[in-house]
Amino acid sequence: MSNHTEEINRRRTFAIISHPDAGKTTLTEKFLLYGGAINLAGSVKGKATARHAVSDWMEIEKERGISVTSSVLQFEYDGYCINILDTPGHQDFSEDTYRTLMAADSAVMVIDASKGVEAQTRKLFKVCVMRKIPIFTFINKMDRDANDTFDLLDDIEKELGIATCPVNWPIGSGKSFKGVYDREKKCVISYSDTEKGTKEGTATEIPVQDEAHLKEMIGDEAADKLIQEIELLDGASAEFDLDLVRKGELTPVCFGSALTNFGVEIFLKHFLKMATAPLPRKADIGLIDPVENEFSAFVFKIQANMNKAHRDRIAFMRICSGKFDAQMEVRHVQGGKVMRLSQPQQIMADERKILSEAYAGDIIGVFDPGIFSIGDTLCMPKDKFCYEGIPTFAPEHFARVRQVDTMKRKQFVKGIEQIAQEGAIQIFQELNSGMEEIIVGVVGVLQFDVLKYRLENEYNVEIRLENLPYEHIRWIENKDEVDLDKLTGTSDMKKVKDMKGNPLLLFVNSWSIGMTLDRNKGLVLTEFGRN
């Protein structure tokens, strides 16, 4: 037992969230550099190099040069085994991004120092708050002109409603970026631009009391400003409290520049010190402890056709407890079957390696013959419990889908249902109609292109999409107590049902939601559905 306790306790599983272009890919790459997983930084940068295939596997992504699907990277650093779940940072991201957060124990938020909190970050952040997972902030791109540091922190507190606690403090930015002040060690770590792409780089530490040396190093003006800011900071910012961090109520903040490799390792060390090993998860029989319990996992993502040569589907699962062994039989609770998982693998960037064992905190991909759904639980044959379902997130864009050739009805229905099962799109029908009127809802508009592309390429079905004006969707929480026919809504409201027959309401305007609630006493609406 002790060996696997040790293995589980050294696991750290986190998701990186950021707005497009905040520098997440560069940061991920520098983490891997420290872990010795890649030798040369810059290998992801050059879009032309073959190495760019790190996580972009679908043609459509290659055309757009963005990563639509999240990949998993595992590396070792300082005795820890770290799993990074990468989330697409594009504004057209999909529900996949949200679900990835369900498989992480903490989140690293990357913010561009010249832009502050951006729209996408806000949405992902909501999910972190909903799950109460700890958030660690890295304010990136200090080598370019940045916003005022106090304003950046204010922005996080106001926009996201979470207290901030700077772990270090930047000295200048852009051309005058001199380094960071470490609040714990009370010393300045000076920035030198020699660190591009190497781990060695020189970082000099100067105690802040040593004023003469400090001024010589960073200049009088920067030193005076720093000393003032430290006073302000010690008076104004939240005290560091690990409990609050772990509850997701306080975010530690570090500053740096991933591009020049400054501050990345400092951040990584602080993060590992504060982040937790895999935590117990809620199941219908109570909390499942990662160490005490034998193997269990849940499926958080299904990805089809990662390999053009074979029509394959991979179910990604997060191991929640115990040790997984490739030879063992497991129970697929929802499918009611005991089976061996086929071709268990870790998908490292572009290469897959078949694995023989994995532990709580790890993410594995298994071949899916079409039996898994998002949110499914796997456990030991003798056990029988279910992890909490993964919420379905509200789509924000809707379109009516029509097939061009009505003779291909069967392929059309099969294709659209399979793609919906993977969770990239949600499909709805008019309340009183069959499959002839299908409405597709997506979180990011790019998913419409993906749907069209995949139906044509994989199912040989051509479709036309007609955009609908709806922007808001609400599930009816107390559907058994509500008579849908008698529901009085607003003129911009549409009643639809999902594939399981649950009723939903679509609205064009956000204020119509409140009006509908006022007009129908007792109606309860919610932004999240349950799978």
* pLDDT band at 348; cut points 50, 70, 90: low
Residues 88 and 112 in one domain: yes
Residues 423 and 466 in one domain: yes
**Residue 386 placed within a domain:** no
Residue with tokens 């500053």: 255
- Mean pLDDT of all residues belonging to the chain: 81
* pLDDT band at 187; cut points 50, 70, 90: confident
Residues 417 and 481 in one domain: yes
Q: Which of 353, 379, 405 is the last residue of a domain?
A: 379
Q: Among 382, 276, 360, which Cα is nearest to 5's?
A: 360
For 413-428, what is the mean pLDDT?
84
Residue type, 152: L
For 56-65, what is the mean pLDDT?
47
Please give the pLDDT value at position 367: 87
Q: What is the CA radius of gyration of the chain?
A: 25
DSSP letters for 158-182: HHH--EEEESEEEE--GGG--EEEE
Greater pLDDT, 483 or 66: 483
pLDDT at 347 over 90: no
Please give the pLDDT value at position 521: 85
pLDDT at 368 over 80: yes
Tell me, letter by letter, the H, E, C secondary structure of 253-303.
EEECECCCCECHHHHHHHHHHHCCCCCCEEECCEEECCCCCCCEEEEEEEE
Please give the pLDDT value at position 45: 39
CATH number of the domain that 244 lies in?
A: 3.40.50.300
Residue type, 390: I
Please give the pLDDT value at position 320: 96
Residues 52 and 191 in one domain: yes
Residues 459 and 523 in one domain: yes
**Residue 385 placed within a domain:** no
User: Coil, strand or helix: which one is 387?
Assistant: strand
Q: Tens digits of per-residue pLDDT, 16-37?
A: 888 767 777 788 778 877 776 5
DSSP 409: H
pLDDT at 65 over 70: no
Q: Which of 258, 274, 290 is the last residue of a domain?
A: 274
Contacts of 285 (CB under 8 A, 6+ apart): 385
CATH number of the domain that 455 lies in?
A: 3.30.70.3280
* pLDDT band at 101; cut points 50, 70, 90: confident
Residues 177 and 254 in one domain: yes
Please give the pLDDT value at position 51: 39
* pLDDT band at 212; cut points 50, 70, 90: confident
Please give the pLDDT value at position 291: 94
Residues 364 and 486 in one domain: no
**Residue 419 placed within a domain:** yes
Number of domains forming the structure of the chain: 3
CATH number of the domain that 366 lies in?
A: 2.40.30.10
Please give the pLDDT value at position 331: 95
From CA 306, how far away is CA 108, in angstroms rounded?
A: 27
pLDDT at 54 over 50: no
Greater pLDDT, 529 or 388: 388
Q: Tens digits of per-residue pLDDT, 117-174?
A: 877 777 778 778 878 889 999 999 998 998 999 999 999 998 888 999 999 989 888 8
For 280-308, what is the mean pLDDT?
86
Please give the pLDDT value at position 116: 85
Please give the pLDDT value at position 332: 95
Q: How would you class 20 by CB atoms within 10 Å of its CB: exposed for 0-12, middle for 13-18, buried for 19 or more? A: middle
Please give the pLDDT value at position 68: 40
Please give the pLDDT value at position 487: 83
**Residue 384 placed within a domain:** no
Tell me, letter by letter, the H, E, C secondary structure of 341-364.
CCCCEEEECCEEEECCEEECCCEE
Residue 179 near residue 189, CB atoms below 8 Å: yes
For 98-111, what is the mean pLDDT?
89
pLDDT at 113 over 70: yes
Residues 267 and 144 in one domain: yes
**Residue 204 placed within a domain:** yes
Residues 476 and 440 in one domain: yes
From CA 84, how far away is CA 63, in angstroms rounded?
A: 25
**Residue 240 placed within a domain:** yes
Residues 233 and 289 in one domain: no
**Residue 220 placed within a domain:** yes
From CA 237, how far away is CA 153, in angstroms rounded?
A: 9
Q: Among 531, 466, 450, 494, which Cα is nearest to 92's?
A: 450
Q: Which of 330, 359, 379 is the last residue of a domain?
A: 379
pLDDT at 531 over 70: no
Please give the pLDDT value at position 88: 62
Q: How would you class 505 by CB atoms within 10 Å of its CB: exposed for 0-12, middle for 13-18, buried for 19 or more? A: buried
DSSP letters for 136-163: EEEEE-TTS----HHHHHHHHHHHH--E
Q: Could you give the percent of the chain with pLDDT greater than 90? A: 28
**Residue 513 placed within a domain:** yes
pLDDT at 108 over 90: yes
pLDDT at 458 over 80: yes
Q: Could you give the percent of the chain with pLDDT greater than 70? A: 84
Neighbouring CB atoms inside 10 A of 361's CB total 27
Please give the pLDDT value at position 27: 83
Q: In terms of residue numbers, what domain contains 502? A: 391-530
Q: Tens digits of per-residue pLDDT, 232-269?
A: 887 766 678 899 999 889 999 999 998 888 888 889 99
* pLDDT band at 436; cut points 50, 70, 90: low
CA 62, 66, 68, 70 dihedral sign is: positive
Residues 253 and 297 in one domain: no
Residues 269 and 297 in one domain: no
